[in-house]
Amino acid sequence: MKEVLETIPVWDGIRSDSECFICDLMKRAEEDSLRYYLGPAVMVPEIRVQINRTGFCGKHFLDLAAMNKAQPLSLVLDTYYEESKGLFRPLFEKVASSGSARKAQKNFEKLEEAILEREKGCLVCEHMEKRLDRYCSTVAALFESDSDFRTALSQSKGFCTHHTIQLVHYAPSVIKGETLAEFIRLVSALLERNLERVQKDVLWMSQKYKSENRDKSWNGCEDAHHRGTEKIVGVGRLIDVNRKK
């Protein structure tokens, strides 16, 4: 096992009866990381160097702005802009001195490439990727070593489609052979069964709005539109890390 086990949050997750407890854990990892980069870390020179170099993906830059912590974010942005300025200045100069349209287009292409390169990398996504590795590895390790966990997993609501794929990607670093085959069969069967269940919930939600069903029970389907969306998409997905692969 290459990573430390996250037994407690994974057990808590499976007991939570969530549609996907990896979604819940990843959302928390994302929020922790966003808070970290607008907290006291802003005043640590080495961390500022990391932020200036790597920065954040589009979603996480916007998430940082949405936190409305103006003072730390303005400090971070100022030095990030400064680093960008050093990278872009010679390219801006080339565009400015381009004589023909063809030259201007060609030189602007170079600037565009540098801007796209600058957008790559995200410290929040990097942090989340490490957490995802640990959570997925722990699920696989507990599946192998703890029969109570295996039972709880088989009776759970499983995972969203996105994290089912991630679990199958990470599992071979922890389990092999027949155990791996059993694990893949189980998470796949859980996905199929629970997609079916959530579809029934959204169907009932759609029927509930008919006048003849007005007085019938919601049967716990009041949030089916949210669960139905999150089950297929996942929450707390990695953005930049996926894009670079």
Contact by Cβ (8 Å): 218, 208: yes
CB of 236 to Zn ion, least distance (A): 7
Length, in residues, of the chain? 245
- Which range in 12-20, 47-55, 147-155, 193-201 contacts Zn ion by CB under 5 A? 12-20
Nearer to Zn ion, 216 or 226 (CB): 226
195 binds Zn ion (CB under 5 A): no
Q: Where are the alpha helices (DSSP H) in the chain?
A: 7-15, 21-37, 45-54, 58-66, 70-96, 101-119, 123-145, 147-154, 161-170, 177-208, 224-233, 240-244
Nearer to Zn ion, 109 or 223 (CB): 223
239 binds Zn ion (CB under 5 A): yes
Nearer to Zn ion, 91 or 238 (CB): 238
| CB within 8 Å of 170: residues ≥ 6 apart | 132, 133, 136, 137, 140
Among 127, 131, 134, 163, binds Zn ion (CB under 5 A): 163
Among 29, 160, 191, 224, binds Zn ion (CB under 5 A): 160
DSSP per residue, 17-58: T-S-HHHHHHHHHHHHHHHHHTTGGGG-HHHHHHHHHH---H
- Which range in 64-72, 99-107, 156-164, 182-190 contacts Zn ion by CB under 5 A? 156-164
Token pair in block for residue 39: 């907290």
Contact by Cβ (8 Å): 239, 125: yes
Among 124, 139, 167, 205, binds Zn ion (CB under 5 A): 124
Contact by Cβ (8 Å): 221, 199: no
- Which range in 62-70, 163-171, 175-183, 221-229 contacts Zn ion by CB under 5 A? 163-171
The site string for Zn ion over 28-67 (x = CB under 5 A, - otherwise) reads -----------------------------x--x-------
Among 14, 23, 139, 224, binds Zn ion (CB under 5 A): 23
Contact by Cβ (8 Å): 63, 34: yes
Which residues of this chain interact with Zn ion, rule CB under 5 A?
Answer: 20, 22-23, 57, 60, 122, 124-125, 160, 163, 234, 239-240
